[in-house]
Amino acid sequence: MIYSQTQAANEFGLIVEHVVQDEELHRVPTISKPKSNNGWYIAFNELLVMGDWQTGLTETFKQNGKSYTQQDRLRIKQSNELRGRKKELLQRKTARYARQTYEAADQAAIHPYLTDKGIECAIGLKATGSELLVPLVNLSSGNVENLQRIFLDGNKRFLKGGRITGSCCPYGFNGLSLVELKKVPKVLICEGYATAASLYQMTHIPVLAAMTAANLLPVGNAIKEKWPDVKIIFAGDDDFLTEEATGINPGKLKANHAASMVKGSVSFPPFNSEDKRAGLTDWNDYYNAIHKEERL
């Protein structure tokens, strides 16, 4: 059977109506996460490179069953290098915009997302209009380089073109200052901001929200490089329902891998099977479950 690039992308698990052959990276939804752009592809005339950031799976497809050649590899390499230069320029521009926007915004107060997540103290959050702004800080420079925008309906979006890898949102520090890291014996690293807030409320240990499972290791590496004596604990998500659908548990997989690479430890919320099937996945869910009566 001869597949088109669009058919190959759909079979891989991407939701794509038509593959655009422009040698640019395209973010698209996946079958397992149709409301998030966790999938991606880069298409050439006969070659399609695609992947899923949530699961970490990648695949290369060449149309009409032709062989994948050294020339194809060179073409991909050259395309990646050009895209890398463009990406670096865009990241610098986005970082300037993120800092200016964050500095000009108001302190966050009441917002449906905070209420829904049981967050009593929105450390570091600011707001512009109805949007919450979560700052992503570069661990090396201490500067805000990106923002995660949280809307009234709970949807989240990073600034387009902004740097995410290695950046995080600190919680439990003096503002966004990271100088305290060299003074603390241990730090928690988790995925989302709400999870960070809940972890700090439960433990009073400083937390770094990496924002995505794929960013747990880069944040851990950045800490190890700058503060080698700090003990790292990865407070991972348990993506049970995703595992049932795809056979892969990204939260557990990424947290365990990150812990093994930086010689840290890992901790997951102690949910029972009923909790997991109800969709509870992270430490924010756990915090709200044990404080359910207080919130009623």
Query: Can you list the alpha helix ranges (DSSP code H) found in 168-265?
Result: 193-203, 216-226, 240-246, 250-262
Which of 146, 19, 61 has its CA nearest to residue 95?
A: 146
* Secondary structure letter of residue 108 according to DSSP: P
pLDDT above 90 as % of the chain: 56
Question: What is the secondary structure of 119-162 as a DSSP string?
Answer: -S--TT-EEETTEEEEEEEETTT--EEEEEEE-TTS-EEEPTT-
Supply the pLDDT for residue 1.
47
Checking if the pLDDT of 67 tops 90, the result is: no
Extract the tokens encoding 168: 């995080």
Residue type, 288: N
- Residues contacting residue 203 through CB under 8 Å, at least 6 positions apart: 188
Supply the pLDDT for residue 207.
95
Asked if 254 and 266 touch (Cβ cutoff 8 Å), the reply is: no
CA dihedral 134, 139, 142, 143 (to 10 degrees): -50
Extract the tokens encoding 139: 């661990």
Extract the tokens encoding 290: 């044990």
Supply the pLDDT for residue 177.
62
pLDDT tens sequence across 136-151: 999 888 899 999 999 9
State the residue for tokens 């939701």: 15
Checking if the pLDDT of 172 tops 60, the result is: yes
Provide mean pLDDT across the span 102-119. Answer: 90
Side-chain half-sphere CA neighbours of 164 within 13 A:
20
CB-CB neighbours of 34 under 10 Å: 11
Instruction: Tell me which range, 34-48, 87-101, 178-192, is most confidently predicted by mean pLDDT.
Output: 87-101
What angle, rounded to 10 degrees, do the helices at 250-262 and 216-226 form?
20
- What pTM was estimated for this model as a whole? 0.76
What is the residue-averaged pLDDT of the chain? 87
Extract the tokens encoding 158: 């990073």
Provide mean pLDDT across the span 73-89. Answer: 72
pLDDT tens sequence across 27-48: 899 998 888 888 999 888 778 8
d(CA 29, CA 252): 22
Checking if the pLDDT of 128 tops 70, the result is: yes
pLDDT tens sequence across 210-260: 999 999 999 999 999 888 999 999 999 999 998 998 888 999 999 999 999
d(CA 283, CA 296): 19
Supply the pLDDT for residue 28.
93
